[in-house]
Amino acid sequence: MQFTGCGTALVTPFQPDFSLDEAALRKLVQRQIRGSVDFLVPCGTTGESPTITLREHLRVVEITLQEAGGRIPVLAGAGGYNTQGVIELARELESLGADGLLSVTPYYNKPTQEGLFQHYQAIAHSTRLPIVLYNVPGRCGTNLEPATVKRLAAIDNIVGIKEASGNISQMSAMANAVPDDFVILSGDDAITLPLFALGGRGVISVVSNHVPAEMAQLCRHGLRGEFVEARALHRKFLPLMEINFIEPNPIPVKAGLALRGLLEPVWRLPMTPPKAENLGRIQSVLESLQLVERSSVAVASLAH
């Protein structure tokens, strides 16, 4: 299975003038590969896809593919509330050589379950690439229900789902509804471990932007049923998983990466830097995990 284990939902680094920071992106991708993650996910919502242009979207995926060099799969973001627009993007990404598509449910227009089915069916029929659905009702305003996922799983190139409902009962029902070869991935780092017990196959992770090797190892333990070892990693990094959502993603994770000198502290509006007190909390968690040195200078330099 191409998209199992730990896939990193890559952040998109920007320069101080808000342009794409290609050099930083290349370094971030190489860092993930050194950490032995299983696949990469550029231009998802963690990558600020709603505020990047089509040209930038394609460039981010192109750079990710170049740096990956075929060593690990690239699951490119291709979602939105305009079905025809998503189809056109999917075709562009296929022509670039992406290995698959991650497609978030339409947001704002709140389609019915039949509308969701027909939306994904149309995308699937437009491309040869495997598609991973992405259900995140807290941000999209609509829930992709297990019965609809079961229907979609019957389409040959719809191969999995990133499930970020936070509803363990729904995840259990979904696991019971779909074929064994349909991949259920956690969309929340903190639910990765319990989802393995239900038959989940991994995570599309935010925290692995910080700790790729450790999150990849947690997933390998989970896939092998080694829950004692997986639980130890889960407990160690749970504070980091949780602090990444002290403000809307990807504000905290980019702030933490900036504190570590891995990118510039730049977000595109309407995303803004975190509050000073939250930035201090992010640094405290990073210090507790020895990911940054204890210092008040770093926080002061990012606070505005």
DSSP-assigned states of every residue in 155-214:
STTEEEEEE-S--HHHHHHHHHHS-TTSEEEESSGGGHHHHHHHT--EEEESGGGT-HHH
Q: What are phi and psi of 261, to 5 degrees?
A: 75, 20
Position 302 scores a pLDDT of 66
pLDDT tens by residue, 204-249: 999 999 999 999 999 999 999 999 999 999 999 999 999 999 999 9
Q: Cβ contacts of residue 79 below 8 Å, gap of 6+?
A: 49, 86, 102, 103, 104, 105, 106, 134
| Res 161 pLDDT > 60 | yes
CA atoms within 13 A on the CB side of 176: 8
Rounded mean pLDDT of the chain?
A: 96
Of the pLDDT bands very low, low, confident and very high (cuts 50, 70, 90), residue 31 is very high
For the segment 127-134, the average pLDDT, to the nearest whole number, is 98
- Tokens found for residue 299: 């926080």
Position 5 scores a pLDDT of 98
Please name which of 301, 268, 269, 264 lies closest in space to residue 283, comparing C-alpha atoms: 301
For the chain, the farthest-separated pair of C-alpha atoms sits apart, in whole angstroms, at: 54
**Among the ranges given (75-79, 107-111, 122-126), the one the predictor scored with the smallest mean pLDDT:** 107-111
Position 294 scores a pLDDT of 73
pLDDT tens by residue, 272-281: 999 999 999 9
Position 299 scores a pLDDT of 54
**CA-to-CA distance for 134 and 152, rounded, in angstroms?**
12
Share of the chain above pLDDT 70, in %: 96
Identify the DSSP state of 144. Answer: -
Q: Which one has a higher pLDDT value, 272 or 2?
A: 272
Position 2 scores a pLDDT of 85
Position 258 scores a pLDDT of 98
Please name which of 101, 57, 94 lies closest in space to residue 78, comparing C-alpha atoms: 101
For the segment 4-20, the average pLDDT, to the nearest whole number, is 98
Position 141 scores a pLDDT of 94
- Asked, as a colleague might, if the bond just before 250 is cis with ω within 30 of 0, I would say yes
| Res 298 pLDDT > 60 | no
For the domain made up of 5-224, the CATH class stated in words is alpha beta
Q: Which residues are catalytic?
A: 134, 162
Position 210 scores a pLDDT of 98
Of the pLDDT bands very low, low, confident and very high (cuts 50, 70, 90), residue 16 is very high
Q: Domains of the chain: which residue ranges?
A: 5-224
pTM: 0.96
